[in-house]
Amino acid sequence: MACSWPCAGVPSVVNSESKMFHIPPNILLMQAIIGLALGAVFVLLASGLSMIYGLMDVVNFAHGVFFMLGAYAVYQFNLTLGNFWVGVALAVLAVALLGALTEISLLRPLYKTGNLLYPLLLTFGLALALPDVVKMFYGLMPMPVNYPEGLQGSLLVGPLIVPKYRLFVIVLTFSVMFSLWLFLKKSNLGMILRATTTDKGMVDAMGINVNRVVTLGFSIGIALAALGGAVAAPMVSVEPNMGVNIVLQCFVVTVVGGLGSLGGAVVSGVIIGEVVAFTSLFAGGYADVVIYFVMAVILLVRPRGLFGELSRE
C-alpha cells in the first residue's frame, strides 16, 4: 500500500545516501505545494467531519464514502456534460442532497434513543454497503478524470515549478473555508448552527426546528467531503475503495485538530498534509504511517487535540 496519495508529484530524488541539503530548493518548494494541496483536501474532509461531530456527536464513518461519491459524481458529470467546473458544482450539490436524505431517513430516527453508539454504527454500515453499490455500477477499475484545460501543467515562476492544478485546489479550499467561516460567524443561520453545536436543547427551546438545523449542518459537512472528492478526482485514482483508505487518515486529521473545531481541522490538515508530503520525499515507504505517529504523539500529549473543547461526554 504505497502512498496512494497525490504527493507523488515529484519522483523521489532521495536515495539512501543523499541528505536534505542536496535537494534543490525548488523541488522542496514544489513538494511543499503538493503537501499543501494534499492538506487542502484533508482540510475539506476534516472540517466536514468536525462539523458533523459538533452538531450530532456522531463520528461519521461514511465520510470517506461521500468523498468517493463526490469523485465519482464529478467523473460522471464530466463524462455526460463535458465540463469539469459544472461537474464539480453538480457533484457537490448531488452528494449533499444524498447526504441530507440519508440523515433524514436513517440517522434521525436514532436520535431519540440517546445512544451515541447507534448512529456511529449505522454510518459504519453505510461505509460497508455503499462502495459495493458503486462497484455495481462502475466496476472495480479506477476511472480516469482529466485535469481541466487551463490547469494542466505547471507555472514557471523563475526557478520555481508550481503545479497549476494543485495551486487551484489550495486557492479553492481556502476560499471555501473562508466563506464557511464568514457564513458561520456573520450570518443568522450560521449563528443558529453554532448555537446548536453548543446547546441543542436551548436552541430547541427558542422555537427553532433543531432537526432541520442538524440536517443542514450534516449536508454542509457532506458537501465539503464531496468537494474534497471532486477536486481530488484528477489527482488520485478514482476507485470504489478510495473512501476507505482516506477515512482513517481523515479521522486522524480531525482528531489532531480537535473534534468539533473547524479552525483545528484547518491547521491540522495543513500540518499533516505537509508532513505526509515531506515524508514521502525523504522516506517514501513511511508516508502512510507517519500520520498515525503524529496522532499518537499529539493525543498522548494533548488529549483533546490542538483546538478541541475540553469536555464533550
Partner 1 sequence: MIKEYAHIAIVALILLTLPLWLNFTTATDILVFGLYAMAFNVALGFAGILSFGHAAFFGVGAYAAGLALRYFGASVWTAIFWAVLCASLVALLMGALCVKKRGVYFALLIAAFAQMFYFLALSPLRFITGGEDGLKGIEVLKLKFPVHADLGHPAALFGFIFCILIVCILVMHRFVHSPLGSLMKGLEENEPRLRACGYNTNAVKIWAFAVSGLFSGVAGALYTVNLGYVPLDSLYWLNSGTPLVMTLLGGMHTFFGPLLGAGIFIFFQDNVSVYTARWEFFVGALVVILILIFPGGILGTVKEKIAQADEGDRQGIWFWLKKLS
- For binding to partner 1 (CB under 8 A), which residues are involved? 1, 59, 106, 109-110, 113, 115-118, 120-122, 124-133, 135-136, 244, 248, 251-252, 255, 259, 285-286, 288-289, 291-293, 295-296, 299-300, 303, 312-313
What is the C-alpha separation between 152 and 165, in angstroms, rounded?
6
Rounded to the nearest whole angstrom, what is the least distance from the CB of residue 219 to partner 1 in the complex? 19
Q: Which secondary structure element, helix H or strand E, spans residue 154, and what is its range?
A: strand 154-157
Q: For residues 236 and 228, give the distance between their C-alpha atoms in angstroms, rounded to a whole number.
A: 11
Distance of CA 171 to the CA centre of its chain: 15
Q: Closest Cα to residue 94, out of 71, 113, 70, 111?
A: 70
Closest separation between CB of residue 188 and partner 1, Å?
A: 31
Shortest distance (Å) from residue 132 CB to partner 1: 4
Please, what is the minimum distance in Å from the beta carbon of residue 118 to partner 1?
A: 5
Supply the minimum distance, in Å, between the C-beta of residue 138 and partner 1: 12
Q: Mention every residue, 6+ apart, whose C-beta is less than 8 A from residue 124.
A: 61, 62
Q: Which CB atom, from 45 or from 122, has the smaller least distance to partner 1?
A: 122
**Cβ 285 to partner 1, closest distance in Å?**
5
Strand partners of residue 238: 143
> 141: how many CB neighbours lie within 10 A of its CB?
10
Distance CA 286, CA 158 (A): 32
How far is it, in rounded angstroms, from Cα 170 to Cα 167?
Answer: 5
Q: Report the sign of the C-alpha dihedral through residues 209, 251, 67, 266, in that order.
A: positive
Q: Of the two residues 173 and 261, which places its CB atom closer to partner 1 in the complex?
A: 261
In the complex, what is the shortest distance from the CB of residue 160 to partner 1, in angstroms, rounded to a whole number? 33
Sign of CA dihedral 38, 40, 44, 49: positive
| Shortest distance, position 210 Cβ to partner 1, whole Å | 21
Residues contacting residue 158 through CB under 8 Å, at least 6 positions apart: none
In sequence order, the β-bridge partners of residue 157 are 160
CB 312 within 8 A of CB 59: no
Q: How far apart are CA 220 and CA 183, in angstroms?
A: 11
- Residues whose CB falls within 8 Å of the CB of residue 273, separated by 6 or more in sequence, listed in order: 35, 36, 37, 38, 39, 40, 41, 42, 43
Measured from the CB atom, the residue of 222 and 255 that comes closer to partner 1 is 255
